[in-house]
Amino acid sequence: MQLPQFDYHAPDTLEKALALKGNLGGMAPVLAGGTDLIVHLKQRLFSPAAVISLRNIKSLRGIETRADAIVIRAATPLAEIARDTSIQEHFPALVKAVNSIGATGIQAFRGTIGGNLCLQPRCILYNQSRFWRTGKGSCHRTGGKDCLALPGSESCHSVCSADTVPVLAAFSGQLTIAGSGGVRQIPVSDFFTGKGESPFKITPDEMVTEIRLPLPWAPASSAYHRLGMRSAVDFPLANAAATAIMQDGKVETFRLVISSAGPAPVVLKEAEALIRGNKPDGAMIDQVRLMARRMAEGVVVENSSISKDYRIKMLGVMTARAVKDVLGFAGPDR
Amino acid sequence: MKKQLLSMTVNGEAVELAVSPNATLLEVLRDQLDYTGVKEGCSEGVCGACTVLLDGNPVRSCLTLALEADGASLITIEGIASEGKLHQIQQAFIDNGAVQCGFCTPGMILSSKALLDRNSDPSDEDIKTALAGNFCRCTGYAKILAAVRSAARDKKGGGC
């Protein structure tokens, strides 16, 4: 498959990249590893005027451990994150998520955390070649005004398919976004619009520059569970991430985030309210599983290679496993 | 869309070319440099037939813009034999019957080389993880696994 034509820029500073982005905006996506962008271009899902490669911008790579947080620059390769000992110690669920992306033997050197965070949401009717798509009508993301998966829908239900997203949200990650208007911070959990046609709260002149993960205030447990067709290469079909800090046998801090349902990850606040402040109880796991299913029923549509019903059930299962892990329950998986 | 200068080292040889921004590394290696051992399988970064080593790391050349390799050192399958002698991993693939149609083989060997260069005593799980991004439709993988195991053993035993 040949790529469409575009100009190529490889600025050596963030300022120069932002200046280009300011001029060209939405017609000039940034290029980190390209494992998502280049596929989109080959499939003619869009044809940019230019790409802005981040390869020469040293300030966008690296992991910094500070007194109260670990800061990961957005274009840091996944392999670097997986082998970082501070991240292994404080955020093991992130290592598991990173090692679930693509085929780590190849992906991890080009793929970046920013690229995974900003992975375009996916739909089986959208992520296809232009030739394949000529057999269907257009949709919200391809110049039309409807959703092929759920006709009559006013926005796109593509699926947030990034392994790191629920984990970064569960760890209360914060993003730094830079643009022509300056620099701002936003929690990961607030970064998503819930609309597949414009999934991120970011303007065309902006880019994510770093992700800040606050260090847990006490020893924490974390878990990430995902369902995939195969043990590598595939996007998650259902996933969930949880973190917990226990003190004196009670759950003091608890976060639960589910993804691979709709365009945005969902913080399961109802489950958090159930568990936070209480002693862990086996009955909570089943309750949380049903809460996850109920949430999924309102969000999941038929836009995947597996059925909506199965995805809803599996979102419940992945959520239950994540909760079971962080609350310290052993026993057979449900 | 102006062409830009690309300078890189391929299989130990310095190369300078004018390439279009939209040229992939796969296209440049095959079409401009005649390294046809780099295969185009799926063209969308799943099958691994296009795997090359970029600064020692396996990457999917079908998804890598050629200009992204500016200043880098590339190794294709053509570059791992030396002085007329096959690389130990190539020999292991032959000796273990790990080649049928051969289309996946360059990618498999390069991914295996990247593994053995950083982990000289890989477990079966390590090998499977390293090769998870290289698909084979012919062999059923068992002999490929055996070939990598035997190459690892030979390397440990002081093979080249």
Which CATH topology does A61-118+159-327 take?
3.30.465
A92 CB-contact burial (10 Å; exposed 0-12 / middle 13-18 / buried 19+): middle
Q: Where are the beta strands (DSSP E) in A216-280?
A: 221-227, 238-247, 250-259, 266-267
A103 touches chain B (CB under 8 A): yes
Chain-chain contact of B68 with A53 (C-beta, under 8 angstroms) = yes
Using a CB-CB cut-off of 8 Å, the residues of chain B touching A110 are: 59-60, 63-64
- Chain centroid to CA B98: how far? 16
B73 touches chain A (CB under 8 A): no
> Over the stretch B63-78, which tens digit does the pLDDT of each residue have?
999 999 999 999 999 9
pLDDT mean over A169-194: 97
Using a CB-CB cut-off of 8 Å, the residues of chain B touching A234 are: none
So where are chain B's domains? 4-79, 88-156
SS3 of residue A63 by DSSP: strand
Cα nearest neighbour of A99 on chain B: B129
b/e B122-139 (16+ beta carbons within 10 angstroms → b): beeebbbbbbbbbbbeeb
Inter-CA distances, A93 with A241, A257, B134, Å:
8, 12, 26
**Strand A50-53 to A7-9 pairing:** parallel
Using a CB-CB cut-off of 8 Å, the residues of chain A touching B70 are: 10
So where are chain A's domains? 1-54, 61-118+159-327
Residue A331 has pLDDT above 60, yes or no: no
> Over the stretch A274-306, which tens digit does the pLDDT of each residue have?
999 999 999 999 999 999 999 999 999 999 999
Of B4, B22, B51, the CB nearest to A106: B51
Q: What interhelical angle do B142-156 and B124-131 show, nearest 10? A: 120
> Over the stretch A34-62, which tens digit does the pLDDT of each residue have?
999 999 999 999 999 999 999 999 999 99
Amino acid at A14: L
pLDDT mean over A199-218: 97
Chain-chain contact of B68 with A55 (C-beta, under 8 angstroms) = yes
Chain-chain contact of A53 with B130 (C-beta, under 8 angstroms) = no
Residue A329 has pLDDT above 90, yes or no: no
Cα nearest neighbour of B21 on chain A: A8
Contact B47, B135 (CB under 8 A): yes
Beta bridge mates, B75: B53
Chain-chain contact of A6 with B44 (C-beta, under 8 angstroms) = no
**The pLDDT of residue B160:** 47
Q: For a pLDDT cut of 90, what percent of chain B falls above it?
A: 94
Using a CB-CB cut-off of 8 Å, the residues of chain B touching A6 are: 1, 21-22
B111 touches chain A (CB under 8 A): yes
CATH class for the region spanning B88-156: mainly alpha
Inter-CA distances, B153 with A263, A306, B94, B113, B131, Å:
47, 42, 16, 13, 18
pLDDT mean over A4-23: 97
Q: A108 in the Ramachandran plot: left (φ > 0), alpha (ψ -120 to 50) or beta?
A: alpha
Query: What whole-number distance in Å separates Cα of residue B36 and Cα of residue B28?
Result: 10
CATH class for the region spanning A1-54: alpha beta
B60 touches chain A (CB under 8 A): yes
Cα nearest neighbour of B48 on chain A: A106
* Domain B4-79 falls under CATH 3.40.50.720: no
Chain-chain contact of A231 with B132 (C-beta, under 8 angstroms) = yes
Residue A324 has pLDDT above 80, yes or no: yes
Residue B158 has pLDDT above 60, yes or no: no
> Over the stretch A240-279, which tens digit does the pLDDT of each residue have?
999 999 999 999 999 999 999 999 999 999 999 999 999 9
Contact B21, A8 (CB under 8 A): yes
